């Protein structure tokens, strides 16, 4: 099976938890473009497959936890504007283009703002395409310009389908790997060879969202030197 087929299968499976969680998901945070002043921290987050428009359940929880961690700093968040549909070959690249445009616009308009990039499930694949896609998965091949990396303080992805082919951001992205946390919940089949399908819906309950917020807060404080992969067995590396 080719890498693209493996990733596509993982993306198909990523819809499992999104539909089940649909009734629990609130509206997305306001876009940074609506803010008059530049925030201290801007989060750009891509939701998972079939989740309603906005940050998604994982994204909302991640932003809430990060705000709690950062205390008095101003933290704004914007959702990647894409369909998050089951037509992954169209949906994920479209999300990648929107995420890239948002991040580059923030870097240009607010050069002192620290940018945090995140994604869950298909949203993690969106992040892969713009930060760590040397093989041009799905024919995308449009990573963000290298200077943008200086504005991105941290990357957090959950249930990343690239894990199915061993292409983890912590090791595959020269510019972003050291500032990335890539989390796979137990035997989540979207990001591992496991078969625990409910695990894909439980990133908030597992504590991994809080773990990611801790990592990002440490990156923003300048105290974490290297990226973190938490694999299917739950060990850090």
The answer to the question of residue 30 being in a domain is: yes
Would you write out the chain's pLDDT as a tens digit for each of its 237 residues? 555 555 555 555 555 444 333 333 333 334 434 445 899 999 999 999 999 999 999 999 999 999 999 988 999 999 999 999 999 889 999 999 999 999 999 999 999 999 999 999 999 999 999 997 655 555 677 889 999 999 999 999 999 998 887 777 887 788 999 999 999 999 999 999 999 999 999 999 999 999 999 999 999 987 544 555 554 334 343
Structural domain contains residue 159: yes
- Render the burial of 98-115: b for 16+ CB within 10 Å, e for the rest: bbbebbbebbeebeebbb
Count how many domains the chain has. 1
Q: Give me the CATH number covering residue 22.
A: 3.40.50.1820
Q: Is residue 235 part of a domain?
A: no
Write out the catalytic residue numbers: 121, 188, 200
CB 183 within 8 A of CB 208: yes
**216 touches 156 (CB < 8 A):** yes
Is position 206 within any domain? yes
For residue 96, tell me if it sits in a domain: yes
The answer to whether residue 193 is domain-embedded is yes
Domain span at 195: 3-230
pLDDT, tens digit, 9 for 90 and up, residues 75-116: 999 999 999 999 988 999 999 999 999 999 999 999 999 999
What is the pLDDT, as a whole number, of residue 34?
Answer: 43
Put simply, whether the predicted model's pTM sits higher than 0.85 gets the answer no
- Does any domain span residue 212? yes
Handedness of CA 80, 85, 88, 94 (dihedral sign): negative
Q: 183 by DSSP, 3-state: which?
A: strand
- Residue 101 phi/psi, 5° resolution? -65, -45
């Amino acid at each position: 099976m080719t890498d693209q087929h493996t990733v596509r299968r993982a993306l198909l499976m990523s819809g499992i938890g999104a539909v089940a969680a649909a009734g629990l998901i609130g509206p997305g945070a306001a876009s940074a473009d609506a803010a008059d002043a530049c925030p201290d921290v801007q989060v750009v987050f891509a939701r998972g497959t079939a989740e309603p428009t906005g940050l998604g359940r994982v994204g909302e929880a991640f932003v809430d936890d990060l705000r709690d961690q950062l205390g008095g700093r101003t933290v704004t968040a914007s959702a990647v504007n894409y369909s998050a549909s089951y037509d992954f070959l169209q949906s994920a690249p479209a999300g990648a283009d929107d995420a890239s445009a948002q991040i580059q616009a923030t870097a240009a308009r607010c050069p002192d703002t620290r940018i945090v990039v995140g994604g869950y499930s298909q949203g993690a694949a969106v992040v892969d395409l713009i930060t760590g896609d040397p093989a041009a998965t799905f024919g995308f091949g449009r990573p963000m310009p290298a200077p943008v990396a200086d504005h991105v303080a941290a990357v957090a992805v959950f249930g990343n389908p690239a894990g199915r082919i061993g292409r983890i951001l912590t090791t595959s992205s020269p510019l972003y790997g050291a500032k990335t946390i890539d989390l796979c919940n137990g035997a989540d089949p979207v990001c591992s060879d496991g078969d625990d399908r409910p695990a894909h819906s439980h990133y908030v309950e597992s504590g991994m969202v809080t773990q990611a917020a801790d990592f990002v807060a440490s990156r923003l404080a300048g105290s974490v030197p290297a990226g973190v992969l938490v694999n299917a067995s739950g060990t850090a590396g």
